[in-house]
Structure 1
Amino acid sequence: MDKTSGIYIAGHRGLVGSAIVRRLEAAGYTNLITRTHSEVDLTDQAAVEAFFQAERPEYVFLAAAKVGGILANSTYPADFIRENLQIQTNVIHSAYRSGVKKLEFLGSSCIYPKLAPQPIKEEYLLTGPLEPTNEAYAIAKIAGIVMTNSYRRQHGFNGISLMPTNLYGPGDNYDLQSSHVLPALIRKFHEAKVRGEGEVVVWGTGAPLREFLHVDDLADAAVFLMENYDEEEIINVGVGEDISIGDLARLVAEVVGFEGEIVFDTSKPDGTPRKLLDVSRLFDMGWRPKFDLRSGIEDAYRWFVENVG
């Protein structure tokens, strides 16, 4: 990518898209193309096609998606599969038709089998059943990977697919009805501290292990891979370490300054027991994350207090 290349960031207001915009701006890219949902509805095929034909971006970061935690995925599976299939189908096809030089599809680590061997290598995709609570979202994302690769095989379209682990950071969703675990914990502990409450209830047993990547590190990896990776095979993006939900809750409580009791509601679902990505392929290319988990949570909490709390 040249500094003046037309670069379209689909989903630029979301957690991932906004971080990619920040990263590109910091690196001196001057021709960033963005559209809000009201300007271009990515689920509308005709609107997306018209946008691509008019703007002719050279590069595309496909970060637009309908996302959510266990509760949202379990409650609205039809919305998750329909909207994500529509968005990625429209963007990938229109990018190909308008002559885009390269597209980067952002997937998710939930594409892997629920009981995949740990850490999860890229080749474990489609080797076992998915986690039922987010099956609809995962299948949509798998379809996006297959579509990107199919356009490469049939049309020579240059598309790559990244599989990030659990993300957090500035711009995250802190709605307790639809958020992921880390922002939900930040909100719960902050509100309990402000109200002077003596305990915070955390869903599940606290035993599941999860890996967390600061979204600014993902954005850095996304730009790095756009410039340095051209393979059909998906590539994992993570930190290579995980933490139990119980220990995560205690770490968030410490950062927030909540000194009460943490209670685990074992009647609530745990989800996948463990989900750690094997990131050796990315690390072997020379990329490394900049945030450790504590400093990342401190950064996310600062943003929450200034913008939400």
Structure 2
Amino acid sequence: MCAQTMEDDYEFTLEDENNMLLPYARDQGKMNACYSYSTGEEVQALYASTYSVPPFELSTQQIVDHMPIMFDYKNLKRKKDKVDCYYSNHPDVLEYIWREGLVRDEHYPKRESRKEKDIISVPKDVPRYGIRSFEFVFQRWMPLELKMTYETEKTVEEINDILRQQPMVGATTVYKSFKDFKGEVLNGFSNELFRAKIKGIYMGPLADELPSPILHSMLLVGFGVRNGVQYYKVKNSGGTEWGHQGFGRIRRDLVFHHAYPIAPIDIKAELEKVEVAAPVSKIKNT
């Protein structure tokens, strides 16, 4: 859906009357598992758009429980949060989904932790939803120190073309002002006139804010320009209290490490193995 607000302002958002691609905002709770929500939902949206099916939730708990086993996080001594959930990233999730597929949330329900005693086997007698491949993207003109060796460089318009068809995931550095963002409160500028002109866009940290040591993964669902400021429309995993009912706008150059799945596989039981070159992520954990 494209909304024209003035000559140079516009916004495109992936949405429809039935919220097929973008159902309600979910809440990751106490688990630091943003990567499981953002990436699971972009695969879900790919299925919805490809097969014109009603929205359904893929299991975030399966990702939280089993992806660390596949990547051997324990022996790698990866860090955990207070509920034993490993810090991770959306590229690892895409590789896990490519290799193993995901079941629906109803077949592997969400818990509020990753206690090893609670981990169960992934059911084999229910459908699994997979992908044939995926791509990591670096936006041209972004600082080169953000570029990973396995990321393909694309222009702003090339990224926009992807977003016109399906959501992507992206990472951002977390500050308290981002966590507290309500969609109508701006940060990073003291000039009230300028703040009013770009009302509703997260513009970055306040002068005295320190960044979190980890990155945050979120779903990119649109893009636009407001008073000369380019931004992404994003869907977060902090429930409806964040932004506007869980959605928000963030200045475009604050988002990096884009990624997206390619071509869904309709899997009925065991994952059909497809030979695709897939790099192992080295992005900071989120």
TM-score normalised per structure 1? 0.22
Bigger relative contact order (CA 8 A; separation at least 6): 2
TM-score normalised per structure 2? 0.24
